[in-house]
Amino acid sequence: MVSSVLQVHHLAPMVKGNQTNVKEFILRGFPGSRYLQISLFMLFLFMYLLTLTGNITIISLVGTHRRLHTPMYYFLCNLSFLEIWFTTANIPKILTNLMSQSKTISFLSCLLQMYFVFSLGCTEFLLLAVMAYDRYLAICLPLRYSSIMNSTLFIQLAIGSWAGGFLTISVPAFLITRLSFCGPTVINHFFCDIDSWIELSCTDTRLFEMLYITISFIVILGSCTVTLVSYIYIISTILRIPSAQGQKKAFSTCSAHLTIVVILYSCSIFLYVDPSKQNSLDMNKIVSIFNTIVTPLLNPFIYTLRNKEVKEILRKTFNRT
């Protein structure tokens, strides 16, 4: 089974027939001294503001410069917009808990946080696969790229990624509302992970667990397969380019995307795909920080610092300012 990220404290259950009176949970988060809490608060606040600034900058640049009105940058805008909301679903609650004595979260808020975090996470995997396919068309089929990746296909792929992510998680979210919770309410994590619901429920969760594992395999490994196959073709095509300058230019257009893919998929497979691993709670938290906080922060900087067009537009914009 998917490794659990919980450590529960047994509290007195409040059960009425088949229904429970558990109306809130406790997010344990990052226990430690007050100095540690304040230090983490400042660090996460700085990273959150930097994430918002970087991703808003990318959206603004693409929206205001016609040179960037291409499918690749439109997909990047979708990714930046997603990262803004993905971090907003996590970090404000983390900051609140770090500075508050009460670390409670209501049942509904916990459910909504889980739904948005995992829906946006699934959407990100699908978007990364779509972006890899876009780079495959641009590098391996350059003469047919414009006719294949037209505005209709771009819109279909973008909408399909968003719809696929949110519809996929709607099923486990609905099943969660059918579970009963009988007392243990302390979650040893900084957000409401799906594993939290499995561990806290006092009803049979085997169907829920099977669905969860199936979704993890299909979404993570499925999108990873599409991405890897695309890059196998991309790299083989780049290696056949006769000039070193041509190889460098071709690889520069996809190296940033590949960097993000490696970080995100390695962390996600560690957390959600390996059913035999019993990871320590602290290790799960560290890896989750990379998934939910560090990667959204790195995205805009990796894409801008490794992209000549964006760097040139940024330089001209700052010079004019």
- Provide CB contacts within 8 A for 30, sequence distance 6+: 36, 37, 40, 98, 190, 285
Judge whether 83 lies within some domain.
Answer: yes
Task: Tell me the average pLDDT of the chain.
Answer: 82
Nearest to 47 by CA among 12, 86, 81, 77: 86
Nearest to 157 by CA among 132, 136, 137, 127: 127
| Residue 53 CB coordination number (10 Å) | 10
Amino acid 195 reads D
Cα distance from N-terminal residue to C-terminal residue, the chain: 55
Provide mean pLDDT across the span 9-36: 63
Provide mean pLDDT across the span 16-20: 42
3-state secondary structure of 7: coil
3-state secondary structure of 14: coil
* Model pLDDT for residues 76-124, shown as the tens digit of each residue: 899 999 999 999 999 999 999 988 888 888 889 999 999 999 999 999 9
Amino acid 280 reads S
* Between 54 and 6, the higher pLDDT residue: 54
Residue 55's pLDDT band (cuts 50, 70, 90): very high
Helices (H), the chain: 34-64, 71-88, 91-99, 107-140, 145-148, 151-176, 194-200, 206-216, 222-239, 244-268, 281-289, 295-305, 308-320
Amino acid 106 reads S
Amino acid 312 reads E
Judge whether 228 lies within some domain.
Answer: yes
Paired with 198 in beta bridges are none
Judge whether 65 lies within some domain.
Answer: yes
3-state secondary structure of 190: coil
Nearest to 271 by CA among 98, 117, 132, 163: 117
Burial of 41 (0-12, 13-18, 19+ CB in 10 A): middle
Amino acid 157 reads L
- Residue 316 pLDDT: 75
Q: What angle do CA 163, 168, 169 make, to 5 degrees?
A: 110
Q: Is the dihedral of CA 80, 272, 185, 116 positive or negative?
A: positive
* Between 168 and 244, the higher pLDDT residue: 168
Judge whether 6 lies within some domain.
Answer: no
- Residue 47 pLDDT: 93
Boundaries of domain holding 225: 15-320
| Domain total of the chain | 1
- Residue 1 pLDDT: 37
- Residue 314 pLDDT: 73
Report in angstroms the alpha-carbon separations of 317 from 228, 232, 304, 311, 312.
Answer: 36, 36, 14, 10, 9
- Residue 3 pLDDT: 39
Provide mean pLDDT across the span 23-39: 85
| Tokens read off for 157 | 């792929």
**pTM of the predicted model as reported, rounded to 2 decimal places:** 0.84
* Model pLDDT for residues 263-288, shown as the tens digit of each residue: 888 877 777 765 444 455 667 777 78
* Model pLDDT for residues 238-260, shown as the tens digit of each residue: 888 777 776 776 676 677 777 77
Determine the Cα–Cα distance for residues 212 and 143; give it in Å rounded to an integer: 42
CATH code, 103: 1.20.1070.10
Judge whether 7 lies within some domain.
Answer: no
Judge whether 8 lies within some domain.
Answer: no
- Residue 280 pLDDT: 58
Nearest to 225 by CA among 313, 128, 122: 128
Residue 75's pLDDT band (cuts 50, 70, 90): very high
Judge whether 174 lies within some domain.
Answer: yes
Provide mean pLDDT across the span 54-64: 89
Judge whether 5 lies within some domain.
Answer: no
